[in-house]
Structures are given as structure tokens and as C-alpha cells.
Amino acid sequence: MIEWFGQCWSATCASLRVTGVKYISYLSFKHFNTHLILLLLLLLQLLLLLLLLLLLLLLLLLLLLLLLLLLLLLLLLLLLLLLLLLLIIIIIIIIIIIMCLKVITI
């Protein structure tokens, strides 16, 4: 966070605390106000926070996409198991029909 430290009424000194570290800057700009510099630093911090939130949203979207892919793979596995079960049932029915035909012919 950016905080204002002390009172500088001229544009020659500004004391800032940026993320817990105290910086004392001696500004030699005559046309810039320290409040404007603090405002620009605050806007930069908000922009970085927005970028971080966008990155987190992108990460969440990627996680959701991976979860959807996992669900799709699970459904595919379930479909393969059902097809295997159907194949086993068909083989059992064919074996029963063959046994019945053998009994009839004997």
C-alpha cells in the first residue's frame, strides 16, 4: 500500500512508504506536485492489482477447463465400460444360443 508520510508542502521532498519500505525521495521537479506523484503511484498499484485479478481469473478459467476435460474423460471411460458390458452380454447370449442348438441337435 502507498501511504503519505509527514507533510511536504513543496515539491522538493516526499516521503513514501511502498509495500512496507520507507523511501525518502528528493524531487527536483518544479512542475510536478508530490500529490500527483502519489496519485500516479496509487494508480500504478491499482493497475497491478487489476492485472493480478485478471491473472487469477485466467487461472480459474484454466482450472475450470481442466475440470471439464477430466469430466469428459470420465464420461468416455464410462461409455467404454458400457460398451464392454454390452459386448460381454452379446457373447453370453451367443454362447447360450450355441448351447441350445447343440442340445436341440443331440
Q: How many domains does the chain have?
A: 1
Give the full edge-to-edge strand order of the sheet including 2-4. 2-4, 13-18, 21-26
Report residue 84 as a C-alpha cell: 464392454
Position 23 pLDDT exceeds 90: no
Model confidence band, residue 8 (pLDDT cutoffs 50, 70, 90):
very low
Bridge partner residues of 104 (DSSP): none
pTM beyond 0.75:
no
Domain around 12: 2-105
Residue 33: what pLDDT?
65
